[in-house]
Amino acid sequence: MKSLFDETCIGTIHLRNRLIRSATWEAMADESGRLTPRLIEVYRELADGGVGLIITSATTITSDATRVPGMLSIPDDTFVPVYNELVQTVHDAGAPIVMQLVFPGRNGAFWTPSDPSREDIHSIVKGFGEAAVRAQRAGFDGVEIHAAHGYFLSQFLNDKRNTRTDEYGGTVENRVRFLLEIACEIRARTGANYPLLVKINCSDFEEEDGVWDACQLACRQLAEDGISAIEVSGGISQMPFPPHGMPYEESVFRDYAAEISRITGVPAILVGLNRTPSVLTGLLNTAGIGYFSLSRPFLRQPDLAGYWRNNPDRPAECLSCDACRKQPDGNVCPFRE
């Protein structure tokens, strides 16, 4: 029987358990998107707490990319040394770390698929590749492409939101093209053995959005191209979470993640209200889902992995109340003891 505390590998990344800290906006970077000592301490605490893998908060790839306050960035080589300090801190505490890469838009605007020209798209693809190389040079164990939650890249998968009439819109094959080109660019620049993950929406949960079809096609192609793992999420930031009509109170995207695992053979990471070890263990042994990522529970309990090892019958203490996002000094849980 498989356990949440099996030692496994995602590509060349060795994990001490199957629990992953999913990308979480901390709102603690400085105005230029650089790491701060406080933010490094957040990651050190997570690593000390026993998590199997840390995925950083979304990190913008270019200097003109739109950012929200406190958001990380890696736009040029001057950012590499301090990220190397972060990586060393996390590694010294026994955890691997992956950088999540994102492009929300440019010059303060949050883009939709209709905004970029073909030349813009080609430039963004190149930007992802260059940022991945910087992350690799900084020592990160891999990178993750953020194509979820209704942000810019995610919208290309949505048949209603992607209104382009060129090779990046229309058919499902066209709607996945941008994501596949980014993955190909990163692979070409970092090498075939450097772990590459993707976070992708199974659905935006809008009527006839076409995202599930695009998700399946993209994941099949990414698997053929050697993707290391697929983190399956869903919904968009402007809507309630979990999406209305979900059949489960916990681990809400489980059926989608199980299907992605089945059709690709690639390790599937399930995110979305993972709260109870017994539920996760059951999915691990029956649904083909290999890993479970969590966000808000790690804000309340950075040592959640160690806690669950010693208390396998206890759910996470997180109330999913979102009070963490309303604090004046960063994305922190006000109920931490």
Catalytic residues: 151
Q: How many angstroms separate the CA atoms of 11 and 265, rounded?
A: 13
Contacts of 45 (CB under 8 A, 6+ apart): 302, 303
Q: How many angstroms separate the CA atoms of 144 and 187, rounded?
A: 12
Structure tokens at 164: 């382009």
Structure tokens at 291: 């890993």
Q: Helix 118-138 to helix 177-190 angle, to the nearest 10 degrees?
A: 40
Is beta strand 8-10 parallel, antiparallel or unpaired with respect to 13-15? antiparallel
Q: How far apart are the first and last CA of the chain?
A: 34
Contacts of 262 (CB under 8 A, 6+ apart): 288
Report in angstroms the alpha-carbon separations of 245 from 78, 206, 248, 252, 253.
47, 12, 9, 10, 12
| Strands annotated E in 3-141 | 8-10, 13-15, 19-21, 53-55, 59-60, 72-73, 97-102, 105-106, 109-110
Tell me the backbone φ, ψ of residue 264, rounded to 5 degrees: -110, -30
Residue 123: burial class (beta carbons within 10 Å; 0-12, 13-18, 19+): middle
